[in-house]
Chain A
Amino acid sequence: MRKVFVSLFVAILSLMLLLTGCGGGTTTPTTPPPTETTPPPPAEKIVIGLQAPITGDFSAEGQWAKQCVEVAQDLINKAGGVLGKQVEIVVVDDGSNAKDSATAAQKMISQGLKEVIASYGSSVTRPAADLYDKNKVVSVGYGCTAVSLTMETQRPYFFRTAGRDDTQSEFFAKFAVEKLGAKKIAIMHDNQDYGKGVADDAKKFLQPSIDAGTTEIVYFDAITKGQSDYSAAITKLKEIAPDLWFFTAYYNEAALLIKQAREMGFDVTFVGNNSVPTPDFEKVAGDAIKGTYMLNEPMPQFLTFPESKTFMDAYKAKYNELPGSIWAVYAADALNALCAAITKAGTTDPDKVAATMRTMTDAKGITGPLMFTDRGDRKNIPYYAYLYNNDGKLELFWPK
């Protein structure tokens, strides 16, 4: 009896599938499906979505991003809003993982949002960016620096206010060879999307020096994310005796690595990448941070634009401290970019907003002018090397 039902069920579903299939799609997979017929958000407000890792491994970043966006929103609304309307933010958690990210994106789309800020973590952002693109929603990433996001396919509706990893890797190569004069470089990653990407690129940009015989890579391996004890890897590294140690993955592991290394008497020059210098890193690593170099796009405390001052003052007034990372500030700038584009285009229509984002030249953000390339990348993001000095504070090291 049950089987009869199931068979009937299958037959009905097949019929439905044929009906929806023949109605909607064609044979070319690039044709987007018919757009939603959901009611748009109320006309008196401009609603923008924020997708962030409120829970999960990156929850710290997610919370900072939320706080920054809210401060930026406040400033915008106090100045009169956008096109005369107040800006409202809808926050959806993407759990720091790709699967939940797709669901979160779907949720945003279903609510009829046309502009979204998303997200932190390249592998988390990717499925969301795909979905937003397919559904003609403008999405601006703030903590996703993998090159592939903008280069492997054309995503006409995707932008990011953060820089790109190859910029970082290229800068590293220059910094390591020209400034620090390193001859034996150890590159350590965590075998994840982001960490490995930076490591691979670093290798690529070091190639000219390697070919010239002035530099060699003496170590290129991964540690396992999430462990507590890295003494085995450090011991191995100690034996190899590099003169520079470049760690390309996240702040949790970086803190443990540098602390344990110093405890074991391993005093090699340590260079961390742009995800490392955060309050969590400083807390866990303690005194071990002194004398380490950090590569980063400009850090919150070093921003010098007038807009930075306004924003930082407002943020400090509300939260008593500066934002924990530059990525959170980029999220705020994503909001600024979107608002500027909407104002300039005079509408929230995604096609017009996207076109405006690519061509606008006078939008000003907390982190500098908000300009984007054809592929959606941020233009003109400089890189710097910072040093944790003997007071445990970051100072700008190179180039001055």
Chain B
Amino acid sequence: MDTLIQQLINGLTIGSFYALVALGYSMVYGVMKLINFAHGDLFTLGSYIGYTVLVVGASWVTATFGIWGGMAIALVAAMIGIGVAGLVMERIAYRPVYKAGRLPLVVSALGMSFVISQGIMAIWGPNPQAYLSGWTPKDFLQFGNIRVPVLQIAILVLALGLMALIYWLVERTTFGAAIRAAAQDRDTATLMGINFNLIIFFVFALGPALGGMAGVMQGLKYTRISFNMGWLYGLKAFTATILGGIGNIPGAMIGGLLLGVMEALFEGYVSGAWKDVFIFLILILVLIWRPTGLFGEKTAEKV
């Protein structure tokens, strides 16, 4: 039983990372119908920004603000940095391509993915970097046989908190209604007076910012960051988004958590080598059963 609980915690932990990345992914996807392959690389860039802040600041940061303060600064730096990066990216690589249709956007996104990941390699070198252990707290809580590091709890709380915030923003505010309207029909939404630039800001600044923060959390929790770690996260995020249903932002979060838990359970109880095969098979079966994802709307197309 203990092992099961431990595995569930494991699954929720990695699942919350997937969920955070999927969140940003789903926002872009839902509103702009754009599969942003570069999203995973923004996540990576965020982790490197956090790393640089802590490395450059090093002892000074930790000494002045304490470990938690240092982590907070890294998070904020990544949030701002990647928010800006997302806006720049949209300006350069996507805005000029919107009129060409969906498929050219995919290629542009792929190109952007290369640019960012290779750019990271060019600046920080091909070797992976590590968040030093001095930057994170070492305490843990013990429940019988189950040991949970305090850092993990903090990350889980932060991730869930961010998700709740986004959920509240999207589902319960007027601003959120505007976003959801734009996700359904962008042209009509702008005709209704919704400022398109505001939507862009939300989608391409806030979404990536979340991804960037997740990147810092990745570094804090898992230590190792490398320039090519983004593509796997991007793929999982895409999977989670589809699982939850396109354009359904809370659905993406649940998709991410579900994905993480499924991975942990398969790894723990079936087989590590076949884990991804099963996950994809389940995804395909879910789509056959519910063609628009778990929570996607059944919209009848007006003929």
Q: Which residues of A contact B (CB under 8 A)?
A: 55, 57, 59-60, 63, 191, 221-224, 226-229, 231-233, 235-236, 238-239, 252, 255-256, 259-260, 263-265, 280, 283-287
Verify if B130 is at the interface (C-beta below 8 Å from A).
Answer: yes
Which secondary structure dominates where chain B touches chain A?
helix
Are the C-beta atoms of A280 and B128 separated by less than 8 Å?
A: yes
Contact A232 B133 (CB under 8 A): no
A388 nearest CB across to chain B (Å): 15
Stretch at the interface among B10-18, B32-40, B83-91, B102-110: B10-18
CA A107 – CA B133 in complex, angstroms? Answer: 44
A60-B126, A60-B127 known; A231 and B10 CB under 8 Å? yes
Q: Which residues of B are found within 8 Å of A287, using beta-carbon distances?
A: 133
- Closest CB in chain A relative to B171 CB, distance in Å: 29
Q: Which residues of B contact A260 (CB under 8 A)?
A: 222
Q: How many B residues touch the partner, as a band?
A: 35 or more
Q: Can you list 27 A-B pairs with a CB-CB distance of less than 8 A? A: A60-B127, A221-B271, A226-B232, A227-B232, A228-B222, A229-B10, A229-B13, A229-B17, A229-B222, A231-B14, A232-B10, A232-B11, A232-B264, A232-B266, A233-B267, A235-B6, A236-B3, A236-B267, A238-B3, A238-B6, A239-B3, A256-B223, A259-B223, A263-B149, A284-B223, A286-B223, A287-B133
Encoded as 1 (CB less than 8 Å from any A CB) or 0, chain B from 1 to 30 comes to: 001001100110110010000000000000
B residues bordering A, Cβ < 8 Å? 3, 6-7, 10-11, 13-14, 17, 126-130, 132-133, 140, 147, 149, 218, 222-224, 226, 228-229, 232, 263-269, 271-273, 275-276
**Which residues of chain B come closer than 8 Å to A239, judged between CB atoms?**
3
A284 interface neighbour in B7, B130, B263, Cβ under 8 Å: B130
**Could you tell me the distance between the alpha carbons of A286 and B266 in the complex, rounded to whole angstroms?**
29
Which residues on the B side are within 8 Å of A238 (C-beta)? 3, 6
Bound state CA distance, A183 and B226, in angstroms?
37
Task: From known contacts A191-B273, A235-B268, A236-B267, infer whether A284 and B224 are also in contact, taking CB-CB under 8 Å.
Answer: yes
* Complex Cα spacing A235 to B1, Å: 12
Quote the shortest CB–CB distance from B148 to chain A (angstroms).
Answer: 9
| Chain B neighbourhood of A223, CB < 8 A | 272
Distance of B86 from chain A, by nearest CB (Å): 22
Let me know if B267 and A232 touch, CB within 8 A: yes
Given contacts A231-B13, A265-B147, A284-B224, contact A224 B276 (CB under 8 A): yes
- Partner among B10, B130, B140, B276 whose Cβ is within 8 Å of the Cβ of A283: B130
- A264 to B151 CA separation, bound complex (whole angstroms): 12
A265 contacts across to B, CB distance below 8 A? 147
Is A286 a contact of B133 with CB atoms below 8 Å?
Answer: yes
Which of A232, A255, A256, A263 has the most CB atoms of chain B within a 10 A radius of its CB? A232
Question: Which B residues lie within 8 Å of A231 (CB)?
Answer: 10, 13-14, 264
Task: Known A-B contacts: A231-B10, A263-B149. Give 11 more (CB < 8 A).
Answer: A59-B126, A226-B232, A228-B14, A228-B229, A231-B14, A231-B264, A236-B3, A236-B7, A236-B269, A239-B3, A256-B222
Residues from chain A with Cβ under 8 Å of B224 in the complex: 228, 252, 255-256, 284
Q: Give the distance to chain B from A220, nearest Cβ to Cβ, in Å.
A: 10
In the complex, A263 Cα to B223 Cα: how many Å?
12
Contacts of A191 in B (CB 8 A): 273
Report the Cα distance A340→B23, complex, angstroms: 61
CB-based nearest A residue for B2: A239
Say whether A235 contacts B223, CB under 8 Å: no
CB distance from B47 to the nearest CB of A (A): 10
- Measured CB to CB, the closest approach of chain A to B245, in angstroms, equals 25
Enumerate chain B residues within 8 angstroms of A284, measured Cβ to Cβ: 128, 130, 223-224
Residues of chain A within 8 A of B275, CB atoms compared: 224
When distances are taken between beta carbons in the complex, the residues of chain A under 8 Å from B7 are: 232, 235-236
Q: Give chain B residues whose Cβ lies under 8 Å from the Cβ of A224.
A: 272, 275-276
User: Contacts of B228 on A, CB cut-off 8 Å?
Assistant: 57
B132 close to A286 (CB less than 8 A):
yes
- Leading 6 A-B pairs by shortest Cβ distance: A232-B267, A59-B126, A231-B10, A232-B264, A222-B273, A229-B14
CA–CA, A287 and B130, complex, Å: 13
| Interfacial chain A residues near B276, Cβ < 8 Å | 224
